Amino acid sequence: MTIWLDVTTTRGWSRPALGIVRVEAETARQFLQSGDPGIRFCRFDLDYDAYFEVGREELTFALARLDAGGEHPAPAAAPVAAPAAIPAAATTAPLQSPWRRWAARGIAGLPAPLQAPARGFARARLDGLRGVRAAARELRRSAGLLWHGSPPAAGAPAAAPAPAPAVLVKPDILFGPGDVYVSLGLDWDQKNLPYLYELKQQLGLRILLMCYDIIPIRLPHLCVADVAAKFSRYFLDVARCADRIACISEYSRADLRKFLEASKVPVPELGVVRLGCEIASAGGVAPSPQVAEVLGRRFILFVSTIERRKNHETLYRAYTRLVDAGVTDLPLLVFVGMAGWGMNDLMTDLRLDPRIRPYLRILNHVSDGDLARLYQDAYFTAYPSLYEGWGLPVAESLAYGKFCLASSAASIPEAGGELIEYVDPWDVPRWAERLRWYIEHPQEVAAREAAIRASYRPASWKDTGTALVEAAYALRLGQAAEA
């Protein structure tokens, strides 16, 4: 019985790894380093609607690309064990469909303020295409049942065989009976869970999936378009497929359980795995010019994609309150992350408001080395998010011995414990007050850092990977015991 780790997200990612991408990539490293020949790697291709094996060399290259900030494209790799029936031109599945590549190139050429809405539009169109493709699959299956279903009546002449439809032939199924399948990535965009359920029924697969959060279900107004309905369907499919779901906090586990119970579906085993929080050191490589400019100043660091849920607006409004109150010598406010959906108005304010412009730096495509430098040199960090499944930047801040002024919402107090201070994410006056207090009392920041260094015990990605490997082994052993 083989344990398969799906690395679709890692293989296809071309930017610095944050959040879910980092979880899959860092766990893949631990699976690679286990040395167990019974662990193999795969990816799912939506165009072929099939799984293909990913070799260790190819995965190592993809991880190195992420370490370099996503600067180098992954090589195309031929799917393994493709049957002779597949046309020669189809035996190498592309990393991305031509439509995706053309869209990505076109969006990259747009002015920065237009890129986020263009990505949202493209994702919506892609969802539509996937819906058409899913409908076509069902039609093909239904047609097959009609054609091969009932035998002709006795004495009736046999019908002439219909010509074979010109459809893409799938490769052989990659998995074997009783195998264990593990997936930790962006599955709602990259996988076909109904097909995975078919494989589970056919092969007796044991399946370990991940729940980071159910934010689109809990806070749909903070997410793009109809993603809430999509996520509801996705997590119902997850519950149907999975023998075990690994959640990233007690809070996210409780949220998921409530949703599944309210939906009247069976709840699989729900576990919790703590995420690692170490970042590769800067090494001897010089910082990028944009990061070097920041490192020469006192600054407060906020690491997150710039989107509504992350609540950058509270920090912006708190800072402008301080400027209006006549506070001088404010540290820089450094946002590390790309602008996401629904942020056009805020980005315009940040660009045009003369009160914030001298104090704000927005850094995109920051490498792990530069991110490590930023954490190391930050005066302290801030994290005003409205909702988190865990709050990885809070844990990263603590791992670097840095105090964090953070939101009191959702799982964030679970990530920060008693070592940081919490503020209601909507309370702009309170954020302004506490920011000013820590800015004007560096000795208190130093005392907080000393307490963090003395007592915080960060989880490593090795710990995370080991926990997930053990969960996969447990599924495999359970299958073997039943056999």
Between strands 299-303 and 380-383, the pairing is: parallel
Q: Where are the beta strands (DSSP E) in 320-419?
A: 332-336, 360-363, 380-383, 404-407
> By residue range, what is the domain housing residue 225?
3-95+102-141+170-276+464-482
* C-alpha to C-alpha distance for 125 and 131, rounded to whole angstroms: 10
pLDDT at 360: 98
Tokens of 241: 């497929």
Q: Is residue 410 a part of any domain in this protein?
A: yes
The percentage of residues in the chain with a pLDDT greater than 70, rounded to a whole number, is: 77
Under a CB-based contact definition with an 8 Å cutoff, are residues 335 and 362 in contact?
Answer: yes
Cβ neighbours of residue 437 closer than 8 Å, sequence gap 6 or more: 444
Full 3-state SS string of 332-360? EEEEECCECCCCHHHHHHHHHCCCCHHHE
pLDDT at 390: 95
What's the pTM value of the predicted model, to 2 decimals?
0.77
Cα–Cα nearest to 297, from 339, 334, 260, 259: 334
What number is the average pLDDT over the span 18-31?
87
268 and 349 co-located in one domain? no
Tell me the pLDDT band of 114, cut-offs 50, 70 and 90.
low
What number is the average pLDDT over the span 304-318?
95
* C-alpha to C-alpha distance for 335 and 305, rounded to whole angstroms: 9
Tell me the pLDDT band of 94, cut-offs 50, 70 and 90.
very low
For the chain, the straight-line distance linking the first and the last C-alpha, in angstroms and rounded, comes to: 11
224 and 350 co-located in one domain? no
208 and 296 co-located in one domain? no
Determine phi and psi for 303, rounding to 5 degrees: -100, 115
268 and 340 co-located in one domain? no
Q: Is the pLDDT score of 138 beyond 70?
A: no
Q: Is residue 235 a part of any domain in this protein?
A: yes
Q: Is the pLDDT score of 186 beyond 60?
A: yes
Q: Is residue 271 a part of any domain in this protein?
A: yes
307 and 450 co-located in one domain? yes
318 and 254 co-located in one domain? no
Burial of 415 from C-beta contacts in 10 A (0-12 / 13-18 / 19+): buried
pLDDT at 348: 96
190 and 333 co-located in one domain? no
**Domain with 412 in it: what CATH number?**
3.40.50.2000
351 and 238 co-located in one domain? no
Convert the pLDDT of each residue in 26-78 to its tens digit: 889 989 988 889 999 999 999 899 999 999 999 999 999 887 776 654 444 43
Tokens of 31: 């699976």
Under a CB-based contact definition with an 8 Å cutoff, are residues 294 and 334 in contact?
Answer: yes
Q: Is the pLDDT score of 274 beyond 60?
A: yes
Burial of 5 from C-beta contacts in 10 A (0-12 / 13-18 / 19+): buried
Cβ neighbours of residue 276 closer than 8 Å, sequence gap 6 or more: 26, 458, 459, 460, 461, 462, 463, 464, 465
**Domain with 470 in it: what CATH number?**
3.40.50
Cα–Cα nearest to 305, from 359, 353, 252, 365: 365
378 and 256 co-located in one domain? no
Q: Is residue 349 a part of any domain in this protein?
A: yes
- The count of structural domains within the chain is 2
Between strands 50-54 and 39-45, the pairing is: antiparallel
474 and 443 co-located in one domain? no
Q: Which amino acid, 183? A: S
Angle at 342 (CA atoms; ends 341, 345), nearest 5 degrees: 135
Tokens of 358: 């001298």
